[in-house]
Amino acid sequence: MSRLGKQPITIPEKTEVTVTADTLSVKGPLGALERPLRSEVKIEVKDGEVVITPTRKSKFARSLWGTYAAHVSNMVKGVNTPFEKKLIVEGVGYRAEAQGNKIVLNVGYSHPVELVAPEGVEVSVEKNVIGVKGINKDHVGEFAANIRAVRKPEPYKGKGIRYEDEVIRRKQGKKAV
């Protein structure tokens, strides 16, 4: 039994959830999201709540039950309040610059690295902090991970791109004799 799947998801005001045969769509004040559905999970909208149940008794159906519960919950939250990730650029000469829907990173390579944000994701840069914001949690998290992957933080000096709440375990390095 999925602890997450058993609980109904309440739909806030100004949010509309519709289920067709093969898609789930959520509309809210910030936008609309869609997700394809699988036949192993049944989603119903009743009395201002979304109820998710597995259609089969297989292990795969039970695993999708909790997964779809999390997806629906994130979709309902996202159309009401956007998801946001912050990344910090650390290092001498390292900097980031936002140009429309793309971000240009100068992080110690011989060339600047350009990353184009997916549709629905906004990028902002203030000093050495990169902000990634959007209504789709999957897109925001994936784009933030792609930015971090350009120059992962290293343990000796702490240079690189890291999440705001990430803690880097520092190493001592060589000792002078």
Span 127-142, mean pLDDT? 94
Share of the chain above pLDDT 90, in %: 65
Residue 155: pLDDT band (50, 70, 90) is very high
- Neighbour count for residue 9 (Cβ, 10 Å): 21
How much is the mean pLDDT over the chain?
Answer: 91
Nearest to 35 by CA among 13, 51, 19: 19
Backbone region of residue 91 per phi and psi (left: phi > 0; alpha: psi in -120 to 50; beta: other values) = left
Q: Which domains does the chain have, with CATH numbers?
A: 3-78 (3.90.930.12), 83-163 (3.90.930.12)
Residue 1: pLDDT band (50, 70, 90) is low
d(CA 77, CA 21): 23
pLDDT higher than threshold 70 for residue 156: yes
**For residue 21, what are the contacts with CB-CB under 8 A and spacing of at least 6?**
37
Confidence at residue 5, expressed as pLDDT on a 0 to 100 scale: 80
Confidence at residue 3, expressed as pLDDT on a 0 to 100 scale: 78
pLDDT digits (tens, 9 = 90+) for 50-109: 999 999 888 998 889 989 999 999 999 999 999 999 999 998 999 999 998 899 999 989
Confidence at residue 2, expressed as pLDDT on a 0 to 100 scale: 67
